[in-house]
Amino acid sequence: MQDPGVLDHINDLAHEEEDLFAKAGRGDLGPTDRDRLRVIQVELDQCGDLLHQRRARRSAGQDPGDAKVRPPDVVEGYVD
């Protein structure tokens, strides 16, 4: 695995997101938790995009370290 730092961060965020979803399921999600959940979801999208960039650069023989985290308005504008 060549991107352990990014993957570790994704895993940490995913676990925190899971905890917040569990709180939501119990009806315990307050406004601060909802805000945090939104931040986590955006950051997960940014991390996924960064990972994709790094893998694409590596595949193209370029330096994956040159990949940059894109702003939320860019990664949130992607269409599935």
pLDDT at 1: 43
Could you tell me which of 13, 8, 1, 12 has the C-alpha nearest to residue 64? 1
**Domain assignment present for 27:** yes
Q: Is residue 66 part of a domain?
A: yes
CB atoms within 10 A of CB 13: 17
Helix (H) or strand (E) holding 43, with range, is helix 31-59
Other CB atoms within a 10 A radius of the CB of residue 46 amount to 19
Quick one: pLDDT at residue 69? 95
Task: Answer whether residue 80 is part of any domain.
Answer: no
Q: Per residue in 5-64, pLDDT tens?
A: 889 999 999 999 999 999 999 999 999 999 999 999 999 999 999 999 999 999 999 999
pLDDT at 7: 92
**Domain housing 40:** 4-75
Question: How many separate domains does the chain show?
Answer: 1
Q: What pLDDT is stored for residue 80 in this prediction?
A: 61
**Residue 2 in this model has a pLDDT that exceeds 70:** no
